[in-house]
Structures are given as C-alpha cells and as structure tokens.
Structure 1
Amino acid sequence: MESSSTATARHTCLKLEIPSTDPLFVKGTWFDTHFHLSVTDGLRAWLCNATEEEVQERAAQWDQPVAEYIELAERYLEFQQPGSAYQFVDAGDDHKRLSWTFEREGTKLEWRWKFQPSNDSRKITAGILDFLMDANINLSEEVVRKTQSFEKLKLEAEKCLEQSERFTNEKMEFESEIYAKFLGVLNSKKAKLRELRDQLSKQEIAGKASVDEEESTDKTESYHSGSNAEESEEEADKKITSSSKDIPAGRGRGRKRATRK
C-alpha cells in the first residue's frame, strides 16, 4: 500500500506572498483521497496531514466528491490564484491556520486547514529546499532540452526554407522555359494560320474572278443566241411572205383557164 500511494503521489511547491509578512513556501503531497502539507518561513515549519476521514468530511460539508475537493485544493496551493485572499495566521498553541478564498456560483467561500508546529523544522525546511533545488534542476534541464529542440527545429526550418526557395527558383525557371517553348509554338501556329488565311483569300479572289468570267461569257452567248434567233425569225417571216405571194398567183391562173372553157 505504501509503494502504491507513493507511486500515485503528486508534488507541488508554492511560494506564497502575503502582504505584511515574509514569503512562505507551501509544499503539498497529493493523493487520490488525502494529502499532506508543510509550510516554512525559512526558520520554522508547520505540518498538516489531512486524513481520508477529514477529507471526506470536508467534501461532504461542501457537497463535493472527494476527488473534486482535492483537485480544487491542489489548484489553489500549486499556484497563487489571482483574486484569492490567502492568510496564514495564529490559531493558538503555536498552531497556524492556512486559508484561501474562492468563488462558487457567485458566492465567495473560504477553506481553512489547521497546521501544527513541526518537531524538526530544520528537516522540513531542508526537505522543501531540496525539492525546490530538484525542481529548479529539472526545470533547467527542461529548458536546455527545449532550447536544443528549438535550435534543431530552427535548423530544420532554415533547411526547409532554403529548399523551398530552391524549388521556387526551379519552378520559375521551368515555367519560363515552358512559356518560351509555348510562345514559339504559338507564334509558329499563328504564322501558319496567317499563311492559310492568305491562301484561302487568294483562292476566294480567284474563284470570284472565274465566276465573273463565266457569267460574262454566258451573257455574251445569250446575246448572240438572241440575235441569231431574231435573224432566223426574220428569215422565216420573209420565206412565209414570199410563199404567200406565190400561192395566190397560181390560183388566179387556174381560174382564168376554167372561165375560158
């Protein structure tokens, strides 16, 4: 059970600044159903061991589940929350009372926990300082890792930027080359189209001239045909007239012969 509790423990350390007092350091060890708090001002130390029964009783008073109660307490003792009034005052018999305020459904509430003096303030203070040193070392190592990661990402970003610029230049060169080729092909096609258009225009002009010549020839032939027809009609009329003149003369002579008999 002890190893299981230790494995699930969470640790926090808050530098609590209260007006008109020296800064305090509040170290918390948080479990699922209970927690331990220790406070030091650098010379003296105080302890608060909240048992499961006490936490359950407090949570029931506030109509909260135990997990929610511990989560809210951890939030206010991990970082000093703006707008919350913290106090660490005497509670008699060298005891202290740590309190903080918060709002719930528009109502300002206050939580309080009583601390008893530590039998070994030096040990508690040294433990808090060791925790702060370890946290500072871990934070420094994390900063170094983040810095190295940032430098690596920065280098990769510069490489990507350089590669992107190279791709952009290659793309522009490729587009310029393709455009030049396309422009040459387009100009060639335009020249070919102009040549075909000129040829078509010449053919149309030649066709019109041929049609005009044929029409002129047809008109000339029609004129000659009409003249020949008129001449033929005149000759036919003359022949008919001549024949009509000859026929009556013959008939007259016949009659005269009949009379003489």
Structure 2
Amino acid sequence: MAAPAPRHSCAKLSVTVEDPKAASAGGGAVFVRATWLPTRFSLAVTDGAGAWVADASEAEVRLRAEQWDQPVGEYLALAERYLAFQQPDSTYSFHDAGKGNRRLSWTFERQGTKLEWRWKLQQSPNTQQTISEILDFLMDANIRLSEEVVRKTQSFDRLKQEADKCLQQSERFNTEKAEFEQATFSKFVSVLNSKKAKLRQLRDKVAELESANKPPKQEEEENSTDQTELFEEGSDKEASINDEPSETGSGDLHSSPEKSAGTSRGRGRGHKRAKKLTERKRS
C-alpha cells in the first residue's frame, strides 16, 4: 500500500520579539513552512535575515503526544491547525534559545486552561537555500492562487452572462405566455358566443316546427261533434229497425225467423254505414 502524500503549508505568523527595535523595523513576523506526514512533521522558519529548521521524528512526536495524553494523529492535527494558519486567539513567539537556535511557541486553550506548545529550531546549515525554498513555495502558491482567482472570475462572468440570458428568456416567455393566453381567451369567447347564437336559432326553429305540426283546437272540437252525431244517428236507425214488428200490427210477441234475419241484416247495414261515415269524416 502506497504511503499517503505529504501535505505542505506556509503561513505568515505575527510573533513577539525580544528586541523592540527589531519589531519596529518589521521584524515581528516570520514565515513558517511545514511538511506534514501521518506520524511526523518538519519546519523551516525565516524572518527574512536568517533561517531555522526543525525535523520532528516519529519518536519525538509520539513522546510529545503521550505527555499531552493525546493520540499522535490528534496531536499533529492540532499542531497543523496553529502553524498552517494564524489563529487569532493564540499568542505566537519566536525567541532566542542560545547557540544561534530559536524557540517557536504558540498558546491554545484546552478545557478552559491556557496552554503553550514549544518547538526548538536549529540554525539552518544553508540559510540562503532555506530562504529560497520558502520564497519559491510562496511564489508557486501565489501563482496557483492567482490562476485559481482568474478561473473563478471567468467562471463567475460566464455564469453571470448565462443568468442574464436566462432572465431575458424568462421575461420573454412570460410575455409570450400572457399574449397567448389573452388571444386564446378571446377566441374562446368568440366561439362560445357563436355557439350560443346557433343554439338559440335551433331552439327557435324547433319551437316553430312543433307549433306547425300541432292540430288546431277547432278541428278537434268539430271531429268530436261529428262523431257524436254519427253515433246518435246509428242508434236511431237501430231503434227504428227493432220497432218494425210493432208497426205491422202483429200481436205476436215473438218475431218470425224472417223478421229476425231482416232485423239483424238491417242492424249490420246500419253499423257499416255509420262506420263509413266516421272514416270519411276523419279523412
């Protein structure tokens, strides 16, 4: 399994100095370049005039972590937090440790108690090279950040242009939608009114046809009168036929077969005549 790639950081830290003249001349800041590995780290520090280095081995890091009752990973993460970026709640110092060495320290709070970490740095065997490496790292980082800023700016400009186009399209779509709805509504109202007019015409035409096909009341009354007269006429004739035996003066209550047959034939002819007259009237 391949070892994880190291992480690099470089921060400008404002530190307290022992010589007030150095602080007034701009000596109150140092550049700290760090390389972070899973179990150890290394530092290179410069104030612009000199350079100092420190290489914390795995054994030293493990010992420091045990002294602070911390796992190695947690100890390294906390150190990286305070050395990769200056924390506003921390006080940094960079003091002389004798024999040309320096001591870098920073404070932090833990469970309400203010604590201080210190690391001793030795003077770099090649000061110019160490300063050059720090400056190169800062220049490369600055170039990368500048390129990133340019890319982000260009991307922002493109997004802004796209947003403006989308806004214009949205406004145009809203206008076209409103015009379309207005035109559709106008057409719908026109079609609805024409349908209403057509329905009124059809209703009036149906009413005219129903009134034309309906028989007059007078004809109904005449037909009813004629039918009544026909039925009365037929009944009178039947009565006259039935009364024929009495007119002959025969005293026999029972009619002869001939008379009965004649009477039945007369009654049948009377019914047929009345029926024909009724049909003629109806036609």
Q: TM-score range by the shorter chain?
A: 0.5 to 0.7
- Distance change in 2, residues 1:195/1:232 (3 Å): closer
Secondary structure of the structure 2 residue equivalent to 1:141: helix
Retained in 1: the 8 A contact 2:16–2:92? Answer: no
- Deviation string, structure 1 residues 49-71 (Cα, Å, up to 9, x no partner): 21111122333445544334323
Equivalent position to 1:96, from 95, 98, 103: 103
Retained in 1: the 8 A contact 2:97–2:120? Answer: no
Secondary structure of the structure 2 residue equivalent to 1:12: strand
Retained in 1: the 8 A contact 2:107–2:115? Answer: yes
The yes-or-no answer on 1:9 pairing with 2:6 is yes
**Aligned residue in 2 for 1:116:** 121
State how far apart, in whole Å, the 1-side matches of 2:164 and 2:252 are: 135
State how far apart, in whole Å, the 2-side matches of 1:163 and 1:240 are: 108
State how far apart, in whole Å, the 2-side matches of 1:136 and 1:126 are: 15
- Distance change in 2, residues 1:157/1:239 (3 Å): closer
State how far apart, in whole Å, the 2-side matches of 1:194 and 1:129 are: 95
For 2:222, give the aligned amino acid: T
Q: Which moved more, 1:87-96 or 1:175-184?
A: 175-184
Gaps of 5+ in 1: 252-261
The yes-or-no answer on 1:144 pairing with 2:146 is no
Correspondence list, 1:39-54, <5 A: 39-54=45-60
State how far apart, in whole Å, the 2-side matches of 1:206 and 1:65 are: 111
The yes-or-no answer on 1:85 pairing with 2:90 is yes
State how far apart, in whole Å, the 1-side matches of 2:252 and 2:128 are: 182
For 2:80, give the aligned amino acid: E
Tell me the TM-score normalized by structure 1. 0.68
Identity %: 43
- Distance change in 2, residues 1:110/1:200 (3 Å): farther
Equivalent position to 1:226, from 225, 228, 232: 228
Shift of 1:31: 1.9
Q: How many residues align?
A: 240
Correspondence list, 1:1-261, <5 A: 8-18=5-15, 22-62=28-68, 64-82=70-88, 84-88=89-93, 90=95, 92-93=97-98, 95-103=102-110, 106=111, 108=113, 110=115, 112-119=117-124, 123-165=129-171, 185-207=191-213, 210=214, 212-213=215-216, 216-234=218-236, 244=246, 247=249
Tell me the TM-score normalized by structure 2. 0.64
Q: Which moved more, 1:153-162 or 1:240-249?
A: 240-249
- Distance change in 2, residues 1:52/1:170 (3 Å): same
State how far apart, in whole Å, the 2-side matches of 1:150 and 1:183 are: 49
Retained in 1: the 8 A contact 2:16–2:93? Answer: no
